[in-house]
Chain A
Amino acid sequence: MVALTEAYIDSIALNAASIKNGKDLVRKNSFPILNRTKDDTLLFGECKGSGKEPYRCSADFMHQEQPVYRCSCPSRQFPCKHILGLLYAAAAGQTFSVAELPSDIAEKREKAEKREEKKKEAAVTGDGASPKRKVNKSALAKKLAAQLEGIELTEKLLKQLATSGLAAADARALRQYEEQAKQLGNYFVPGLQASFRELIDCLRSEKSASSGYVEAAEQLTSLHSLLKRGRDYLTARIADPEMAISTDSALEEKLGHAWQFAELREAGQVREQVELIQLSFRSYSDQARGEYVDEGYWMQLHDGQLVATRTYRPFRAAKFIKEEDSYFHIVQTKELAVYPGEWNRRARWEEMTLRETSAADWQAVRQHAVKSYPDALKTIKNVLKNPLSDKNPFMLLHAARIGQTEDGYAMEDEQGKRIALGHIEAIGQPTLSFLPFIQEGSLTDCAVLVMFEDRLDTGRLQAQPLALIAEDEAIRLLY
């Protein structure tokens, strides 16, 4: 059986509340029966619930790397609090009496084995590679046509908004736009719909009028270029049905395509045998999309490339989807799928193992920090000028020292070139105030993960530090 630690159990729980609920069950002695099999491959027990019948839950460690959890409760949260409670009880060293393997679980194990065998057989008989998925051409043509229609509708709305003026968009007008944004749901362009909603939200917030609609104007502009590029792309695809889905920019994702892992693999967007180290993490709610976004900022250890992981949890289903957490271990994955895009590309994995982080890993991270600020800024500005790219690129920079000038905090490279540090809207959470709590030694010759934001109204390119990599540790300023 795997060594059951509380940290491990915490990591499989969906969210902090289910951790608490699971622990509460143990505290309240809600498990009248706690059993294990002789070979220690199965923990099972009964947990008192609100109904007359207790819930029967179990944790099957037949395959250690992939434990199977089962519970008779109707909860949609999985693993449910009963399973977590069972595991916490084991981690806390409660006595589990030896018992026979329950027959229903024996049956399930058998079935699972058969499935496994079938899979293996199929793999042997097949040619190894998964067959290329067939594309239904007429369906695709219909979809593309609908998407083009969606683009035209959005263009119309945008034009209407720009012609009558942002100031004219009062509460009533915004409600109408909101209605029309709903209709965009019929055209397979959820990304576009979210962007348009973001614009409406932006106009609705009281801030926009007082700050002179800077953000609204920015959003308007990038939406306009997205529509333009999208129209060209879709028209080309309709004209040439053989044309492959675009992977040279984030255009597809911006329009709303949800890339599947297999699709990315087919499109050659998979990197093999990658080790990733997390530098920072945050979670925020994206009102326009109606989703929570858990965002991790990672470095590929072998080449220093930065990628982002993003898990979207729709508000309505948030309870049933795992809330991501900060990682302090190195993630090792056989396949890392990377989404099309320009700079900090989005990445994800299906399977991974963890290993402890060592001082050498942090050394490697520091090696990859960009040393020259003029070079760094040039790169960042090039990213920013592309209307389709991320408005808040991030980068790991080396700092000879971090300190304070008359105007605020700043960092300096070895050539004495500086970048001013400040708060950016996208993060919305202070991190600079922690700098005075860090030992002076860690503020010199360190690596800093910063996120950028370019304010056109002030002409300032702001950088906010998210994490600091000192000699052999990371100081996380965010999460």
Chain B
Amino acid sequence: MSIPLLRELHEDMRRLFIAGASLAPNDLRLEAMLPKLERLGEAAPVFKKVAETVSGVLGASPDQAATKLLDLSVLLHAILHTQGSAEAAGELRPIGLKDTLETAPTAISYRKLQPVIDALTNSGSGRLEAIRQANADGLFADMRTVVPAVAALEDTYSEIAEYVAEEVLPKIGQRALPVLHASFDLQGGSGDARKLTAIYRLTSKEETAAAKELVRKAAFEGSQPVRIAAIHLAANDSDFEEKLLELSQDRKKEIRSAALLALSDSDSEQALERLMEALVKKDTAIAAEPIRRSGNPKLKERVLAFGEELLGAMAADGKSVSWLERMLAVLGGLRSPDEHAAERDFLMRLLNDDAIDVTETSRIQSEAAEALLESGHPQALAFLHELRHKRPNLLAYSFKAAIRLEQPADAYEAYRPYLDDRKGPAAKQLLQVFHEWVPGPLHELRHSLENVQQPEPSIVWDDRWVHRFVKMNEEDLVARLAVKPDKEVVDYLFNKANVKSNIATYRTTTILLALVRLGHEDASELIMSTIEKARPKQIYYFEEETDLLIASLPSRYADRIRLVEDRFYYEEARNKLLELADLVAAKAEEDTTKGAGLLSWIKSKVR
């Protein structure tokens, strides 16, 4: 049979369908084909039929052309569908896994598997949660998840890409390697950087050489994100140090930065030399971090010497700013937990030096003060405390040092006078320290709810501070510092709670929580009435702190909470109120726990 001719005819026919069957009756190509078909038809009846149908199309009236062409199409399709080729020539090479790895199971049902694959390959919200759940359920043992998981490394939602790289791929293990290799693109984006990392981590010990080779190649020839990932991977490879030194001179700053960081793991003379060179010469800004990370004592020594040199230059020429950046880098590089006397001495001299006490150096001074404070060394703290007379711009550091070093009463005595001019820069600095270091009742509670370590060691404040703030009308600080049921403080807060109270604001909830903590007898009534005053559409849902406030109410309030539920407009808020009403109702009436005890009770109930 002459199939190519029929295929040609089929093409022509499709062309006519596209252009319109009305053109078919006069089509030159069809006309030219007809005699050939007729000739073939003499031997094969199929062609005769085709020839007849074609001539039917050619002779059709414009009205009938479409029907005739469709008839021809039906005939041609029926013939051509018997002619499809399924051939596969050439050598057939095996593709399966060798004995070392077993076929992964595929016994996870559609309804379980499909949502994960969707989450890995589509876009939209709630995907990370689905992937986490699937991981917890062990779905990634199924081989059908491998390809989507590797694809997810390129997800534009980087949390998903990171999660898959960190948590999922290690579980899939070496099975992922062929897919990773097949889809890895040296010139690709951050997804390919993740793939390179995964390849390096998953490759078995026997084949590390190949993986290392790939990493080395990627470090030079890849796209920027791929190169940076490769440089990070090469950090511990001592054979690669030569190349890292070379890369630390790269044209691109990002590459130099990554290479310097990788070099910080090394203690070799060349590496130290290079880091020093970067600091002194043009790469000052990116050298600080690697130097800090290195922790090599020899390097520190040299950095310190360079710092002294700069200090000398600065003292000589206070107005020039050319040394500013380098000095910042030196200070950044010196910041590490195990500072010793020489560095401390250097920092103190820097702060003490009147020759360089100009506006331009304020950042350097802050950095140095911060570093001293961080060291926590008694000598450093005492120095900072004393500095309050000489450097008013660093008063916050002095105060922080004093809080750590001195008795609460002494700290109060020493720093209270700075609050006298409450609008002055000194007072501002002190208030800022309070805001920074005194956690609110809310903050405290949330940290203990989430079992997070307190950010700062708890500080004992002198009782006089809170009274001072009452006088200054700093209501937030009073609410934060009020821990003892002192009448003046309690009255102040109670009055404040009645001014412009609004359950949806941070201010009101903080004050109310403070009153609860102080065990104020009217706190419950106040909370209830504040909720009853809230505008119906104001609240979509209750914040965690509001939940806590409501949960703190005694059981007799349960009915009032249920009553107030109707007033709110949004479903979410209403449901929450009902839930809280149940919680409150379940309390024993005699449960009169107050203050901190109550907060821990709430904590046990709300979660």
Contact = CB atoms under 8 A, between A and B. Distances in A.
A10 B112 CA distance: 10
A431 B426 CA distance: 71
Given A387-B78, A459-B84, A404 B93 contact: yes
Nearest to A402: B95
A454 B90 CA distance: 22
B451 interface: no
B179 interface: yes
A420 B71 CA distance: 32
Given A281-B110, A385-B78, A405-B90, A435 B20 contact: no
B1 interface: no
A163 B69 CA distance: 9
B17 A212 contact: no
B67 interface: yes
Contacts of A50: 571, 575
Contacts of B109: 325-326, 328, 479
Contact of A442 (B19, B103, B144): B103
Interface size class of B (residues with CB under 8 A): 35 or more
Nearest to A212: B14
Nearest to A400: B92
A163 B23 CA distance: 8
Interface in A201-230: 212-214, 216-218, 220-222, 224-225, 228
B20 A165 contact: yes
Contact of A437 (B74, B85, B94, B104): B104
Interface in B70-118: 70-71, 73-74, 77-99, 101-104, 106-107, 109-115
Contacts of B85: 459-461
Given A163-B65, A385-B82, A460-B84, A405 B91 contact: yes
Interface stretch (A56-64, A251-259, A408-416): A408-416
A441 B20 CA distance: 54
Contacts of A421: 88
A443 B143 CA distance: 15
Contacts of A410: 88, 92
B92 A437 contact: no
A248 to B, nearest CB: 19
Contacts of A418: 86-89, 92
B279 interface: no
Nearest to A224: B70
Contact of A220 (B73, B79, B98, B110): B73
Contacts of B98: 440
Given A213-B17, A433-B147, A224 B74 contact: yes
Contacts of B7: 459
Contacts of A216: 17
Contacts of B78: 385-387
A39 interface: no
A437 B575 CA distance: 50
B66 interface: yes
A418 B86 CA distance: 8
B18 interface: yes
Most chain B CB atoms below 10 A, which of A15, A214, A438, A470: A438
A233 B221 CA distance: 69
Contacts of A460: 84-86
A212 B98 CA distance: 43
A283 B103 contact: no
Nearest to A406: B90
A436 B96 contact: yes
Contact of B21 (A162, A283, A459): A162
Contacts of B274: none
Interface string B7-29: 10010011001111111000000
B95 A435 contact: yes
B80 A420 contact: no
Interface stretch (A115-123, A125-133, A376-384): A376-384
Contacts of A455: 84
Contacts of B102: 439
Contacts of B20: 162-165, 167-168
A118 B74 CA distance: 56
A368 interface: no
A475 interface: yes
A437 B143 contact: yes
Given A220-B73, A381-B84, A213 B111 contact: no
A456 interface: yes
Most chain A CB atoms below 10 A, which of B21, B101, B575: B21
A16 interface: yes
B115 A456 contact: no
B381 interface: no
Interface of B: 7, 10, 13-14, 17-23, 65-67, 69-71, 73-74, 77-99, 101-104, 106-107, 109-115, 143-144, 146-147, 175, 178-179, 571, 575
Given A384-B84, A438-B143, A460-B85, 7 more contacts: A16-B111, A213-B14, A221-B77, A385-B77, A387-B77, A434-B146, A442-B96
Nearest 7 Cβ contacts at the A-B interface: A165-B20, A461-B84, A440-B96, A410-B88, A479-B110, A420-B88, A162-B66
